[in-house]
A and B are shown apart, each in its own frame.
Chain A
Amino acid sequence: MKTWKEVPPGAVITEPGSSRKFKTGSWRAFRPKWIPENCIQCLFCWIYCPDMSVKVKDGKRTEFDYDYCKGCGICALECPGKKGNKAIVMEEEGK
Chain B
Amino acid sequence: MHRKVAANGNEAIANAMRIANPDVCGAYPITPATEIMQRFTTFVSNGKVKTEMVLAESEHSAMSACIGAAAAGGRVATATSSQGMALMWEMLFIASGLRLPIVMGMANRALSAPINIHGDHSDGMGARDCGWIHLYCENAQEAFDNMLMAFKLAEHMDVRLPVMVGMDGFITSHAIQTMEWIDDETAANFIGEYKSTNPLLDIKNPVSYGPLILADLYMEYRKAQEHVMSGVPKVVLDIAKEFEQISGRKYGLFEEYRLDDAEVAIVVMSSAAGTTKEIIDQFREKGIKVGLLKPRLFRPFPYAEVGEALKHLKAVAVLDRADCFGGSHGPLYVDIASALYNYAQRPVLINKIFGLGGRDYMPDHAEYVINELLQITKDGKVKSVKEYIGVRE
Q: Chain A interface (Cβ within 8 Å of chain B)?
A: 1-7, 9-14, 16, 18
Whether the Cβ atoms of B217 and A12 lie closer than 8 Å is no
| Residues in B43-102 with C-beta less than 8 Å from chain A | 97-100
Chain B residues lying within 8 Å of A2, measured Cβ to Cβ, are: 217, 220
Whether the Cβ atoms of A7 and B217 lie closer than 8 Å is yes
Query: Which of B97, B219, B220, B223 is packed against the most chain A CB atoms within 10 Å?
Result: B220
Chain B residue nearest to A17 (CB atoms) is B206
B4 lies within 8 A of chain A by Cβ = no
Chain B residues lying within 8 Å of A14, measured Cβ to Cβ, are: 198, 205, 207
B224 lies within 8 A of chain A by Cβ = yes
Contact of A13 among B160, B197, B211 (CB under 8 A): B211
Output the least CB separation between A43 and chain B (Å).
27
Output the least CB separation between A6 and chain B (Å).
8
Output the least CB separation between A50 and chain B (Å).
16
Whether the Cβ atoms of B206 and A4 lie closer than 8 Å is no
Whether the Cβ atoms of B224 and A1 lie closer than 8 Å is no
Chain A residues lying within 8 Å of B220, measured Cβ to Cβ, are: 2-4, 6-7
Whether the Cβ atoms of B224 and A4 lie closer than 8 Å is yes
What are 8 A-B interface contacts by the 8 Å CB criterion?
A2-B217, A4-B224, A7-B220, A9-B99, A10-B99, A11-B213, A12-B207, A13-B208
Given A7-B224, A10-B198, A14-B198: 20 more A-B contacts, CB < 8 Å? A1-B216, A1-B217, A4-B219, A4-B220, A5-B224, A9-B99, A9-B224, A9-B228, A10-B97, A10-B100, A10-B160, A10-B209, A11-B97, A11-B213, A11-B221, A13-B207, A13-B209, A14-B205, A14-B207, A16-B206
Size of the chain B interface, CB-CB below 8 angstroms: 24
Chain B residues lying within 8 Å of A5, measured Cβ to Cβ, are: 224
Whether the Cβ atoms of A4 and B97 lie closer than 8 Å is no
Report the bound CA distance from A13 to B211 in whole Å: 8
Chain B residue nearest to A12 (CB atoms) is B198
Q: Which 10 A-B pairs have the closest CB atoms?
A: A10-B99, A4-B223, A13-B208, A4-B220, A16-B206, A10-B98, A12-B198, A4-B224, A9-B99, A7-B220
Whether the Cβ atoms of A9 and B160 lie closer than 8 Å is yes
Report the bound CA distance from A11 to B216 in whole Å: 13
Chain A residue nearest to B222 (CB atoms) is A4
B327 lies within 8 A of chain A by Cβ = no
A-B contacts counted at CB < 8 A amount to: 52
B326 lies within 8 A of chain A by Cβ = no
Chain A residue nearest to B160 (CB atoms) is A9
Q: Chain B interface (Cβ within 8 Å of chain A)?
A: 97-100, 160, 197-198, 205-211, 213, 216-217, 219-221, 223-224, 227-228
Report the bound CA distance from A3 to B220 in whole Å: 6
Chain B residues lying within 8 Å of A3, measured Cβ to Cβ, are: 220
Chain A residues lying within 8 Å of B209, measured Cβ to Cβ, are: 10-13
Chain B residues lying within 8 Å of A16, measured Cβ to Cβ, are: 206-207
Known: A1-B217, A4-B223, A4-B224. A11 touches B210 (CB 8 A): yes
Chain B residue nearest to A13 (CB atoms) is B208
Output the least CB separation between B381 and chain A (Å).
48
Query: Which of A2, A3, A9 is packed against the most chain B CB atoms within 10 Å?
Result: A9
Query: Which of B99, B211, B216, B224 is packed against the most chain A CB atoms within 10 Å?
Result: B224
Report the bound CA distance from A10 to B199 in whole Å: 12
Report the bound CA distance from A5 to B217 in whole Å: 12
Chain B residues lying within 8 Å of A6, measured Cβ to Cβ, are: 220
Report the bound CA distance from A9 to B100 in whole Å: 10
Chain A residue nearest to B100 (CB atoms) is A10
Chain A residue nearest to B157 (CB atoms) is A9
Chain A residues lying within 8 Å of B224, measured Cβ to Cβ, are: 4-5, 7, 9
Chain B residue nearest to A16 (CB atoms) is B206
Output the least CB separation between A65 and chain B (Å).
21
Chain A residues lying within 8 Å of B219, measured Cβ to Cβ, are: 4
Report the bound CA distance from A3 to B219 in whole Å: 10
Chain A residues lying within 8 Å of B223, measured Cβ to Cβ, are: 4
Chain B residues lying within 8 Å of A4, measured Cβ to Cβ, are: 219-221, 223-224, 227
Report the bound CA distance from A12 to B94 in whole Å: 12
Report the bound CA distance from A77 to B374 in whole Å: 79
Output the least CB separation between A23 and chain B (Å).
15
Chain B residues lying within 8 Å of A9, measured Cβ to Cβ, are: 99, 160, 197, 224, 228
Output the least CB separation between A26 and chain B (Å).
15
